[in-house]
């Protein structure tokens, strides 16, 4: 699907649900209490590129989805926890093809390039703002994470911008989506990136 048609759909979705202040099953206060420690561990593991450790934080049954945008279409790359343990930055195989914002052109990414573009392009472990089940970033790209992962806890690491003259149009967010498993622990099921888009 090209980004033009996807962007129209995303804009419509955003118009319907506004600023994503919809109620979630777990309040922001409770979400923070439940998941903060696990979220800190997870973001540090991602920052340090420790995928063997990340595999232990990944949902046993559902695995982990890598979403270049916070609107999950079902075409995103997903890996089970065993494969995550063996992710390599030296792998030259195509990890995921992503339709580019604006042009709609499909661009192929190795994992190393995907990581630098959609997982950790900024130091999200030190983001100035962290939100729990409360979406705050605003842009034309839609978000359906709360619909796709009902009952989840979603942690957003948010930078409001980097260059003052861009007046916040260079903001970026990283979302970590956790779901509760049968063992009553919370595990990562999705990593999604967001930024200002056309």
**Could you give the domains of the chain?**
3-10+35-195 (3.10.450)
**8 exposed, middle or buried (CB, 10 Å; 0-12, 13-18, 19+)?**
exposed
Task: Summarize the confidence of residues 158-169 as an average pLDDT.
Answer: 74
Does pLDDT of 3 surpass 50? no
Task: Give the DSSP letter of residue 185.
Answer: -
The confidence score (pLDDT) of residue 21 equals 39
| 71-130 pLDDT, tens digit each | 998 889 999 999 999 999 999 999 999 987 656 688 999 999 999 999 999 999 999 999
DSSP assignment of 51-77, as one string? HHHHHHTBBTTTBEEEESSSS--S-SE
| 6-49 pLDDT, tens digit each | 333 333 333 333 333 344 689 999 999 999 999 999 999 999 99
Determine how β-strand 186-195 pairs with β-strand 172-180. Answer: antiparallel
Task: Summarize the confidence of residues 172-181 as an average pLDDT.
Answer: 96
The confidence score (pLDDT) of residue 103 equals 63
Torsions phi, psi for 156 (to 5 deg): -110, 125
Lowest mean pLDDT, pick from 57-66, 109-118, 163-172, 176-185:
163-172
The confidence score (pLDDT) of residue 169 equals 75
The confidence score (pLDDT) of residue 4 equals 35
Task: Summarize the confidence of residues 155-165 as an average pLDDT.
Answer: 85
Spatial CA neighbour of 142 closest among 28, 19, 25, 27: 19
**177 exposed, middle or buried (CB, 10 Å; 0-12, 13-18, 19+)?**
buried
What is the C-alpha to C-alpha distance for residues 75 and 119, in angstroms, rounded to an integer? 17
The confidence score (pLDDT) of residue 86 equals 96
């Amino acid at each position: 699907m090209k980004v033009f048609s996807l962007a129209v759909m995303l804009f419509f979705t955003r118009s319907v649900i506004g600023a994503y202040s919809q109620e979630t099953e777990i309040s922001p206060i409770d979400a923070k209490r439940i998941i903060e420690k696990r979220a800190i561990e997870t973001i540090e593991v991602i920052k340090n590129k420790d995928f063997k450790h990340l595999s232990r934080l990944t949902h046993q049954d559902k695995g982990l989805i890598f979403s270049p945008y916070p609107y999950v279409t079902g075409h995103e790359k997903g890996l089970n926890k065993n494969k995550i343990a063996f992710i390599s930055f030296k792998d030259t195989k195509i990890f995921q093809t992503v339709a580019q914002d604006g042009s709609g052109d499909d661009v192929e990414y190795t994992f190393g390039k995907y990581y630098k573009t959609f997982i950790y392009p900024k130091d999200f472990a030190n983001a100035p703002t962290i939100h729990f089940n409360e979406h705050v970033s605003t842009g034309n790209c839609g978000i359906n994470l709360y619909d796709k992962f009902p009952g989840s806890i979603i942690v957003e690491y948010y930078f409001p911008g980097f260059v003052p003259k861009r007046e916040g149009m260079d903001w970026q967010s990283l979302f970590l989506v956790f779901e509760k498993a049968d063992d009553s622990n919370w595990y990562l099921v999705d990593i999604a990136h967001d930024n200002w888009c056309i």
